[in-house]
């Protein structure tokens, strides 16, 4: 996320950004004391926004301001919030404190840690840029552009036209942008060839074809090229070309679905891009209002056949665009396919033709939810009664529709057919509890915990027992049953390569930690063992009163982390060392901690990234 090339540093400085795990983008810019007089509108200058976003993103933000995409603005001297409406609404927040600006946006670019056009648009609006095309709205330019701008002011119109046409012939992006402006302002059809060419280039393997497909190492760059195409289509839609955007978005959707065959999508980029394009397509359909019957046919085909299955539930999203005529056409296609799917009774084989059955069932359920209601939905769901989980789904559907009486009826019917389906027993227990039938719920909760102890079942048992003033009498037998089960496993079961829940003391330790009984939890872990997650919790809980015990645990995990030559492991090494240092001081052996760090630096001196992290942490 860089500044404009050639631009000079200003009085802002990028301080930190949030990691990319689907969270909103959070960008913090440190300010010099007294910048902007402490007023947000004065701090948000064009130079600041342009330097953080870059020229291309800044121009798109200008376009969003010009098209009135910033709505619901609420601004004070210290904070501004707004909704930016593009293909979908995104929430933006900009906040000023004594030392920094903080920017937040809910758009997908937050996953890329990039300063997006939505932030630019809101920033410009708060700063008072009313006309995005005004010359004064242009950001600080790189060294050559200022001179170019002055030179262009003196050129005759005919020469400027020649320069633009020549540039459009050389630069596909310039061609697309000028085509949009010419069609929007001059009338007539728009030339879509540059867009189709851009789609073809984005989806050609091209330079990435080292292995006959887009390898994991190249998927990020490939994704950025496709995302640039989607951004161009968003601008096309914003300019009012809805029908054209529908056609082009459908091309992109088809290409993305085909990409399953040749793109390593370990990071989920295909699905993310597909979601973005689907949202764009839906917005374009709202603007263009394509033929509803033809659209229904395409939506059904995509739901039935495509590998990327987001369109399985799309009828709900597209219901308003389809209208009665389109929904009726969609229903005819779905019911025609549905009639070919045989009903399944208890314990019938549900594997034959599973993929086709799953798809058409999802389609019919979504259609029922959208246009029919609970009765129609249950009629579809009853078509499959081959497993206990099928009854779980029917009962949960009744609960969603606030019909707990029907939910209990379906859950009990299913449990009679599938007495080993404990999800049904849990559902029956919760339904009794919600209806105030506490005795019935407590009896079931007791059986559930005895059958398969877990923290969630213990919490359910405690809540119900406390409501009946019976918890002290329930607690000790429950914990004794857990201990007895562990001992029975240890005594009777053959050793397993991969232990199962119940083989060790993990459940018991988790329960005791939840009850803040760290000492008894430690004893249980020492006696029965537990998984590493709980050992670390135990060390944290035990460190203040028993630092030597905590050090024993942390040292074991430090040795494991040092065996892995990856940055995440190095971060864990630093975290563990920082946690261990005060514990060594507490036992009066800070010299031993210093010796440990010296040993690590000596033994792993060739791991440059580890040593750098130790240096930064002053270890």
Cα–Cα distance between 291 and 247 in angstroms, integer? 13
Strand partners for 17: 27
CA 555: distance to chain centroid? 35
Q: Report pLDDT for 134.
A: 43
Cβ neighbours for 176, distance < 8 A, ≥ 6 positions apart = 194, 195, 198, 232
pLDDT over threshold 60, residue 23: no
Q: What is the mean pLDDT of residues 408-419?
A: 94
Give the residue, 129 or 539, on which the prediction is more confident: 539
Q: Where are the domains of the chain?
A: 12-153, 543-616
Share of the chain above pLDDT 70, in %: 85
Tell me the two tokens of residue 209: 């074809």
- Going by the DSSP 8-state scheme, the letter that residue 344 receives in this structure is B
Cβ neighbours for 525, distance < 8 A, ≥ 6 positions apart = 505, 509, 534, 535, 538
Q: What is the pTM of this model?
A: 0.66
Q: Report pLDDT for 146.
A: 67
Q: What is the mean pLDDT of residues 283-305?
A: 95
CA distances in angstroms from 250 to 265, 280, 307, listed in the order given: 21, 10, 15
Cα–Cα distance between 601 and 612 in angstroms, integer? 10
Confidence bin at 498 (pLDDT 50/70/90): very low
Q: Report pLDDT for 197.
A: 87
Burial class from Cβ neighbours inside 10 Å (0-12, 13-18, 19+) for residue 608 reads exposed
Cα–Cα distance between 217 and 582 in angstroms, integer? 41
pLDDT in tens, 550-576: 999 999 999 988 988 888 888 999 999
Handedness of CA 59, 60, 65, 71 (dihedral sign): negative
Q: Where are the alpha helices (DSSP H) in 452-589?
A: 455-467, 471-492, 506-514, 518-528, 532-542, 547-562, 567-586
Torsion of CA 543, 549, 554, 555, to 10 degrees: 140
Q: Report pLDDT for 183.
A: 67
Confidence bin at 395 (pLDDT 50/70/90): very high
Cα–Cα distance between 37 and 35 in angstroms, integer? 5
pLDDT over threshold 90, residue 184: no
Give the residue, 210 or 592, on which the prediction is more confident: 592
Are 413 and 441 spatial neighbours (Cβ–Cβ below 8 Å)?
no
Tell me the two tokens of residue 364: 């019919």
Confidence bin at 206 (pLDDT 50/70/90): low
Could you identify the residue written with the tokens 């946006």?
105
Share of the chain above pLDDT 90, in %: 42
Q: Where are the alpha helices (DSSP H) in 187-215?
A: 193-203
Cβ neighbours for 320, distance < 8 A, ≥ 6 positions apart = 286
**485 three-class SS:** helix
Nearest to 60 by CA among 70, 45, 74, 71: 70
Q: Report pLDDT for 413.
A: 95
**509 three-class SS:** helix
Tell me the two tokens of residue 281: 């397509």
For residue 427, what is the enclosing H or E element? helix 422-434
pLDDT over threshold 60, residue 585: yes
Cα–Cα distance between 341 and 545 in angstroms, integer? 65
Q: What is the mean pLDDT of the chain?
A: 83
Cα–Cα distance between 471 and 275 in angstroms, integer? 49
Could you identify the residue written with the tokens 């887009």?
214
pLDDT over threshold 50, residue 549: yes
Confidence bin at 20 (pLDDT 50/70/90): very low
């Amino acid at each position: 996320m860089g500044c404009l090339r050639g631009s000079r540093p200003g009085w802002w400085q990028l301080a930190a950004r949030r990691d990319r795990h689907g969270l909103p983008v959070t960008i913090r810019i440190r300010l010099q004391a007294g910048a902007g007089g402490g007023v947000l509108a004065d701090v948000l200058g064009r130079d600041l926004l342009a330097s953080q976003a870059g020229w291309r993103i800044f121009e798109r933000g200008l376009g969003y301001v010009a098209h009135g995409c910033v709505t619901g603005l609420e601004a004070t001297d210290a904070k501004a919030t707004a909704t930016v409406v593009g293909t979908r609404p995104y929430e933006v927040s900009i906040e000023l404190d004594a030392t920094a600006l903080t920017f937040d946006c809910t758009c997908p670019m937050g996953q890329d840690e990039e300063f997006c056009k939505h932030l630019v648009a809101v920033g410009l609006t708060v700063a008072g840029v009313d006309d995005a095309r005004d010359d004064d709205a242009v950001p600080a330019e790189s060294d050559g552009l200022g001179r170019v701008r002055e030179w262009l002011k003196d050129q005759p119109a005919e020469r400027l036209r020649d320069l633009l046409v020549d540039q459009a012939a050389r630069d596909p992006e310039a061609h697309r942008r000028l085509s949009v402006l010419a069609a929007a302002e001059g009338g007539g059809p728009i030339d879509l060839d540059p867009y189709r060419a851009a789609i073809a280039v984005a989806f050609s393997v091209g330079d990435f074809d080292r292995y006959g497909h887009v390898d994991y190492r190249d998927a990020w760059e490939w994704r950025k090229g496709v995302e640039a195409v989607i951004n161009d289509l968003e601008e096309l839609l914003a300019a009012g070309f809805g029908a054209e955007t529908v056609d082009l978005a459908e091309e992109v959707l088809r290409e993305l679905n085909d990409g399953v065959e040749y793109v390593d999508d370990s990071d989920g980029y295909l699905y993310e891009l597909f979601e973005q394009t689907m949202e764009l397509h839906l917005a374009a359909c709202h603007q263009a209002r394509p033929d509803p019957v033809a659209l229904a046919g395409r939506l059904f085909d995509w739901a039935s056949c495509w590998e990327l299955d987001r369109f399985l539930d799309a009828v709900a999203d597209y219901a308003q665009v389809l209208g009665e005529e389109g929904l009726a056409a969609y229903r005819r296609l779905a019911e025609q396919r549905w009639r070919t799917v045989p009903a399944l009774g208890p314990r019938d084989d549900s594997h034959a033709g599973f993929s086709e059955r799953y798809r058409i069932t999802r389609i019919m359920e979504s259609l029922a939810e959208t246009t029919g209601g609970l009765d129609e939905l249950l009629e579809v769901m009853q078509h499959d009664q081959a497993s206990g989980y099928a009854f779980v789904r029917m009962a949960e559907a009744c609960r969603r529709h606030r019909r707990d009486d029907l939910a209990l009826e379906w859950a009990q019917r299913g449990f009679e057919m599938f007495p080993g389906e404990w999800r049904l027993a849990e559902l029956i227990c919760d339904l009794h509890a919600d209806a105030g039938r506490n005795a019935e719920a407590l009896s079931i909760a007791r059986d559930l915990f005895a059958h398969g102890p877990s923290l969630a079942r213990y919490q359910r048992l405690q809540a119900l027992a406390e409501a009946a003033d019976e918890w002290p009498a329930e607690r000790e037998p429950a914990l004794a049953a857990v201990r007895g089960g562990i001992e029975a496993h240890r005594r009777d079961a053959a050793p397993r390569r991969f232990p199962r829940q119940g083989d060790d003391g993990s459940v018991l330790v988790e329960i005791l930690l939840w009850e803040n009984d760290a000492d008894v939890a430690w004893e249980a872990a020492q006696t029965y063992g537990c998984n590493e997650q709980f050992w670390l919790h135990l060390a944290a809980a035990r460190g203040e009163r028993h630092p030597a015990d905590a050090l024993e645990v942390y040292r074991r995990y430090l040795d494991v982390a040092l065996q892995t030559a990856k940055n995440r492991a190095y971060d864990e090494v630093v975290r563990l060392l920082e946690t261990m240092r005060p514990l060594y001081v507490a036992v009066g052996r800070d010299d031993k901690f210093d010796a440990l760090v010296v040993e690590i630096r000596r033994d792993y001196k060739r791991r440059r990234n580890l040593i750098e992290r130790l240096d930064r942490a002053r270890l």
